[in-house]
Amino acid sequence: MTEIIIVFLLLIPLILIGCKAESADLPVVVDKNAVFEKATFAGGCFWCLEGPFEKLPGVVEAVAGYTGGHTKNPTYEEVCTGKTGHYEVIQISYDPSKTTYEQLLNIFWRQIDPTDPGGQFADRGTQYYTAIFYHSEEQKKIAEKSKEELDKSGLYDKPVVTEILKATEFYKAEDYHQDYYKKCPVRYKTYRYGSGRDTYLENIWKDEKSEKKYKKPSDEELKKKLTPVQYSVTQENGTEPPFKNEYWNNKKEGIYVDIVTGEPLFTSLDKFDSGCGWPSFTKAIDTDTIEEKTDTAYGMVRTEVRSKNSDSHLGHVFNDGPGPAGLRYCINSASIRFIPVEDLEKEGYSEYLKLFKK
């Protein structure tokens, strides 16, 4: 463990150098009539919390900042001393009609070690303590219940020590900290892995994933279940023709699930017409359902998108989308199946009905 921390500390200067100071993302388009609520979480380095929350339907933005301290307008350098009393936090604005506070808490717990009283992973000190800052009595009750259930779950051999505190004044962090995972993806991933966070979380939550519910059939079963095009795309990394596939122009409301396992991957709420001839989405339903890999086929360097549980080839993701993350998930119709809103309950996906409530 000592060796890992030393290597991690040596990497920090490389991580902080050479990143753009401004994000190229387009502005978020929101419903002017919607009423948004706030949620604030401290989970160690705030770089590691933005991505998981920003990709959740209903989340308008996740802003890195500082709270809980005793000085006004603290800088990153001041907070890093541990003398201002501030926590590094993410403050989330979300639409409660599209996502719930419980869902936000579920994501939060899956990003941290809530049993660590001294910081998070390689980051030590009070500024890296974990905490839930509630904005209402209702949030406080939900957070206390969620913490109690987690403590009794048997996941940990030590007590959950994450504090539940009343929200105080929030100070937005410097621009170069905002959306760091998008501005500097390679450095971000190097930092995250080097800190030990990814390895820990994978070990803790490995039995909580949905392998059982969304288990991949055998290859023999797949050949019987899938059409030749579906098999070629998902199992052999094939590509279907643009503008001549099932969903490229589908405008109905509903969700898109993995053709192999049935696991939910995308929603029509995040689908847009990119003009490329394949279904395009600004984000996935849940970042835990997909994974990205470098694809160097055909003399190009692209980012491939695969389904985690089935390991199916889905398509590619590009940095030219219109959403808050500026992403375009270009997905083969042959790798997904569409379930319209009116069939969600019948097909066992009733928990996604709330996304489509007006």
pLDDT at residue 268 greater than cutoff 50 = yes
The catalytic position among 19, 80, 184, 330 is 330
The pLDDT, as a whole number, for residue 189 is 86
Asked whether the beta carbons of 134 and 165 are under 8 A apart, the reply is: yes
d(CA 27, CA 61): 10
SS percent in the chain: helix, strand, coil, step 5:
35, 20, 45
The pLDDT, as a whole number, for residue 350 is 86
256 beta partners: 266, 338
d(CA 307, CA 223): 18
Q: DSSP secondary-structure letter at 259?
A: T
Query: In which band, very low, low, confident or very high, does the pLDDT at 324 lie, cut at 50, 70 and 90?
Result: confident
Question: Quick count: other Cβ atoms within 10 Å of Cβ 72?
Answer: 8
pLDDT (tens digit per residue) in 240-250: 999 999 999 99
pLDDT (tens digit per residue) in 139-172: 999 999 999 999 998 889 999 999 999 999 999 9
Asked whether the beta carbons of 256 and 336 are under 8 A apart, the reply is: yes
Q: DSSP secondary-structure letter at 354?
A: G
Q: At what angle do helices 185-195 and 47-54 cross, to 10 degrees?
A: 110
| Cα angle: 333, vertex 289, 150; to 5 degrees | 155
Alpha carbon 180 to its chain centroid, in Å, reads 14
The pLDDT, as a whole number, for residue 27 is 39
Catalytic (active site) residue 48: no
* Max Cα–Cα distance, the chain, nearest Å: 65
State both tokens at 185: 């993806």
pLDDT at residue 1 greater than cutoff 90 = no
d(CA 102, CA 221): 37
Query: What is the arithmetic mean of pLDDT over 307-326?
Result: 91
The pLDDT, as a whole number, for residue 351 is 84
Give the sheet arrangement for strand 59-67, strand by strand. 163-166, 130-134, 37-43, 87-94, 59-67, 171-172
The pLDDT, as a whole number, for residue 29 is 44
pLDDT at residue 2 greater than cutoff 80 = no
Q: How many residues belong to the chain?
A: 358
Whose tokens are 């709420």? That residue is 269
Does an H or E element contain 158, and which?
none
Whose tokens are 């079963």? That residue is 221
Closest CA to 186 of 113, 299, 292, 284: 292
Query: What is the arithmetic mean of pLDDT over 271-276?
Result: 95
Asked whether the beta carbons of 31 and 67 are under 8 A apart, the reply is: no
123 beta partners: 120
pLDDT (tens digit per residue) in 13-52: 444 444 543 333 333 445 556 689 999 999 999 999 998 8
Per-residue buried b or exposed e for 143-156, using 16+ beta carbons within 10 Å of the residue's own CB: beebbeebbeeeee
Closest CA to 181 of 74, 320, 319: 319
The pLDDT, as a whole number, for residue 196 is 94
pLDDT at residue 105 greater than cutoff 70 = yes
The pLDDT, as a whole number, for residue 205 is 83
Query: In which band, very low, low, confident or very high, does the pLDDT at 80 lie, cut at 50, 70 and 90?
Result: very high
The catalytic position among 45, 48, 80, 276 is 45
Asked whether the beta carbons of 340 and 353 are under 8 A apart, the reply is: no
Catalytic (active site) residue 330: yes
